[in-house]
Structure 1
Amino acid sequence: MARNKQALRRTAQATADGYENFIARVGMQTPNQHSASTYRANFTSRNRMLVEWSYRSSWIIGEAVDAIPDDMTRKGIRITSEIDAKDRGHSRITTG
């Protein structure tokens, strides 16, 4: 009889139980409030006034926006034109 008990203990048996409450929508294969959830993109950059107000009111956002031009011009800029070499560095203001 002791051998029969040991034989029963060693055999593995699959269980098919689980907790489900369809009214509370809890359990496996039960739809819950997140089943119909989707991601809707919020394009903040399309709201021009919000972006402008953020830039003017927050120094952190201002630094983040201004960091791109500083990085783009860190090696300097080069302006080419058809002005003679002797006239470079001089500017003329003419009014018509």
Structure 2
Amino acid sequence: MKDRKRAVQARIYGKVQGVGYRIWARGEATRFGLLGWVRNERDGSVTAWLTGADAAVADMIERLRQGPLGAAVSRIDVEELESWTTPGDFKIIA
């Protein structure tokens, strides 16, 4: 049986800018077969839109909690999305 699809917006707080977080997140999302994007926010947080198989999205959220070497994630807010539009891959938005 196919895994159900899921879409979320995750807002990641802590030391997540200036540590390669977006590049790392794109690599992890690609590894999990997810679509979406990641971007830095003006307040120092990072936002990621993730779409794909429910299990893969759940695994990616756990990876976002860890982050790359040098990151220190203090909190993640996850919002489930009813509908979404994503690119055909996973992008870093400047």
TM-score range (shorter-chain normalised) is: under 0.3
Structure (1/2) with the larger helix percentage: 1
Larger Rg: 1
TM-score w.r.t. structure 2 length?
A: 0.19
Which structure carries more strand by proportion? 2
Q: Which structure carries more relative contact order (alpha carbon 8 Å, separation 6+)?
A: 2
